[in-house]
Structure 1
Amino acid sequence: MIKTKGIMLVFGTQIHIVTFIFIVLEFCMFFFQILYYLFRPQDKMRLWYLLLLLLFQFYNITGGLFPDPKINIPVPTQLMIAYGSGFLMASFFPFYFYKAFDLKTLRWHALYGVPLFLMLPYLIFFVIVYAINGKLNVDIKFGMIVPFIYAVILLWVIFKAIRKKHETERNRNQYLEEIAMYCAVIPWLALTFFGLVESSQLLEVLCTNTGIVILSILFISRSIRNARVEYEQLLEFNTGGAQRNNLEEMFRYYKLTNREIEIVLLVREGLTYREISNKLFIAGKTVENHMQNIYEKTSVKNKVALLHKLFPS
C-alpha cells in the first residue's frame, strides 16, 4: 500500500489518523463485548464476533504501521506480517458468515476452500518465494491470481447463501438484515483488490472497515432483539409463582442452557419450529439441533414426552 505522508499520521508512525480512529473504536467494542462474553460464555455468536474484531484490529495496526524502517523488525518480515494479516482476516470472513448467520452452504468453503485458495497462496508466494527472491512486486503479481479469482467466486457463493437463507426464513425483520449482509460482504472482496494494486492507506481503511461497521450494526441489532426475547421469557417465567422454583430445579437438573429453556417454554406454548425460529431470530435447523440436545438430556424422544416430564401438572 502507499503510505500517507504528512500531519495526518499519529505518534510519529505510519498510521493514518482515520486508521487510528478505527483501531480505538474497535478496541472499545472488543473490550465491552469480551466482558459480556465472559459473563455468558455460551454465546458462541459473540465469540465469532470477538474473533472478527480482533482480526480487524490486527489488520489495521499492521497495515498502518508496516513497512516502517524505523521499527526494529526487518522490512521483508514486516511486509509478510502486513499481507498475512489481510489474508488471515479475509480467510476468517467466510467462516464468520458460516457460523454467525448459520449459512450451511458455506461450510466447505469456510473449512477447506479458504485454506486452499487463500492461505496456501499466501504461504507459497508471500512467505516462501518472497523470502527467496525478495521481489515483492513479482510475488504479488503471481500470488494474487488464485486468491482474487477465488474471492470473486466465493462472493457469489455467499450472496447465494444469504438469498437462500432469507427465502426460506423470511419475516418482516429480515429484509433490512439481508440487504445489510450484502453490503457487509462487498468490502471483503476489496481486500484482494487492494492486494493487487497500490492504494492509499486512507482509501483502503475506509473501504475494508465498512464491512465491520455494518456487521457490528447487525450484531448489536440481533443482540438487542435476543435480549428483548429473553426478557419477555423471564417475565413470563417469573409469573409462575411457586411453580417457577420447581421448573428452575428441573432445568438445572437436566442441565438445560438458557437457549434450550427458551425453546422448551415456546414449545410448551404450542409454537412450531418455524414460529420459534422467527421469534428467536435463529435458523430452523438450529431449533431442531437444540431440540435434539434437549431430548438427549431429558431422555425423551418427542415433544409430548418432553412436556409430560418437565410440566407434569
Structure 2
Amino acid sequence: MFGTSIHWTTFFYLLIDTFLLVIACVQSSRNRYTNLNRYLVLAGLFVLYNLTGGFLPFDGFPGPFILQYVITYGVAITMGIFLFHYIYREYDIRILNVHLTIANISIYGALCFFGLFLLPYYFTGSLDTARVCFTVPVSLICLYFLWAFYGRISKPKNPNKFVLRRNKLSLLSVICMILLPMLTLIGDYQWLTFTIVNTSFYAITAIEIDRYLYFLEHKKKMNALLNYYKAERNKEIAPKFFTRGLTGREIEMAMSVLDGRSYKEIGDEYFIAEKTASKHASNIFKKMRVKNRTEFMERFGKKKL
C-alpha cells in the first residue's frame, strides 16, 4: 500500500490502535482520578510499531539500509519490554524468577540486539544470519519468561471472576508477545506477525475495559471514594498526591478493603504478598486523608453507601 511494504492488515491494525489511543486520551482527561498513563504509553508504542514495522524498509529512506532495521527492531524491543513492565505493575511483580527483573530484561534485550544482531550483520553482511543469531536466544528468554509467569498465576488462592479473567487475558497477551521473535525468524509475513502481536495489545485493552466494568459493578463504593477525592482535589490546600489520583489497582484494593477482607485475603486474591497489600492500603489511606483502616471503613464503609 502507498508504494511501501505495508500490508493492508497492518494498516488496519494501525487505525484501530490509533483509535484506541485517542479514546484512552479522552477518557484519561475526563477522569483525572484514574491513572491510564501506562496504557497510553503502551498504546503509543503499538501505534509506532505498526508504523515502523509496516512502512519500513523502503528504498527512499535516507541513510544506510541497516538503519531502518535498527529503528524497527528498536521499537519492537521497547514495546515488548514495556508490555512486560505493564504486566509486572499489574501483578505487583518485582522479581518474577531468577534474574527476571524489568531492568535485567531491558539489559538482555539491548545486549542481544547489539551483540547478536548488529555485530553479526556487520561481519557477515547477511540480514538472515543476523536475524537467526538474534531471535534464537531472545526466543529462549521469552519462553523462560512465559514459564515463570504462568507458574506465578496458575494457582490462584480465593480468586474472584475479575481476577480469573485478568489472568487469562494477561497470559494471552504474554504468549502473543513472546511469539514475535519466532515470527520474525519465520519470515516477513505481515498479515500473520502483526495480527498476533496486536492481539497482545487488544488483550491488555480488554483488561482495562473489564476493570472499568468491574468498577461500574461496584458503583456505590466507587462514588463514595471518588466524590471525596473530587471534593479534596478542589480545595486550595489539597496535597500534591491528589493530583495523581487513585490508580486502577488502588481502587480495586480499596473496594476489597471495604468488603472487609484481610490483607492476607487481598494478597491471595491479587497474587501479591500480604505486606504489599498492606502497603497499597497505606497509600490509599494517605490519599483519602484517613489515618488507618478503621477510619477508612467508618468514612467510606457500607453505612456511608
TM-score, structure 1 length as denominator? 0.75
Cα RMSD for the two superposed structures: 3.9
Cα gap change, 1:48 to 1:263, in 2 (>3 Å)? closer
Q: Quick one: which of 262, 279, 288 aligns to 1:289?
A: 279
Secondary structure, counterpart of 2:100 in structure 1: helix
Secondary structure, counterpart of 1:144 in structure 2: helix
Equivalent residue, structure 2, for 1:184: 173
> Hey, what's the Cα distance between the residues in 2 that align with 1:120 and 1:29?
33
Conserved 8 A contact 1:266-1:276: no
Cα gap change, 1:42 to 1:114, in 2 (>3 Å)? farther
Conserved 8 A contact 1:276-1:287: no
Gaps spanning 5+ residues in structure 1: where?
1-9, 239-243
Cα gap change, 1:32 to 1:286, in 2 (>3 Å)? farther
Equivalent residue, structure 1, for 2:220: 232
AA of the residue aligned to 2:184: G
TM-score, structure 2 length as denominator? 0.77
Q: Please state how far the C-alpha of 1:140 moved relative to its aligned partner.
A: 1.9
AA of the residue aligned to 1:157: A
Point out which structure has higher relative CO (alpha carbons under 8 A, 6+ apart).
Answer: 2
Equivalent residue, structure 2, for 1:77: 67
Conserved 8 A contact 1:94-1:106: no
Equivalent residue, structure 1, for 2:105: 114
Q: Please state how far the C-alpha of 1:143 moved relative to its aligned partner.
A: 2.4
Equivalent residue, structure 2, for 1:197: 186
Equivalent residue, structure 2, for 1:23: 14
> Hey, what's the Cα distance between the residues in 2 that align with 1:177 and 1:65?
33
Bigger Rg, structure 1 or 2: 1
AA of the residue aligned to 2:192: L
Cα gap change, 1:123 to 1:42, in 2 (>3 Å)? farther
Which sits farther off after the overlay, 99-108 or 141-150? Answer: 99-108
> Hey, what's the Cα distance between the residues in 1 that align with 2:232 and 2:180?
51
Q: Please state how far the C-alpha of 1:33 moved relative to its aligned partner.
A: 0.6
Q: Please state how far the C-alpha of 1:266 moved relative to its aligned partner.
A: 7.6
AA of the residue aligned to 2:59: P
AA of the residue aligned to 2:51: I
Q: Quick one: which of 200, 208, 216 aligns to 1:211?
A: 200
> Hey, what's the Cα distance between the residues in 1 that align with 2:213 and 2:43?
19
How many residue pairs match? The answer is: 289
Conserved 8 A contact 1:141-1:196: yes
> Hey, what's the Cα distance between the residues in 2 that align with 1:262 and 1:99?
14
Conserved 8 A contact 2:118-2:130: no
The answer to whether residue 43 in structure 2 is matched with residue 53 in structure 1 is yes
AA of the residue aligned to 1:130: Y
Secondary structure, counterpart of 1:106 in structure 2: coil
Cα gap change, 1:159 to 1:266, in 2 (>3 Å)? closer
Conserved 8 A contact 2:176-2:196: yes
Conserved 8 A contact 1:59-1:85: yes
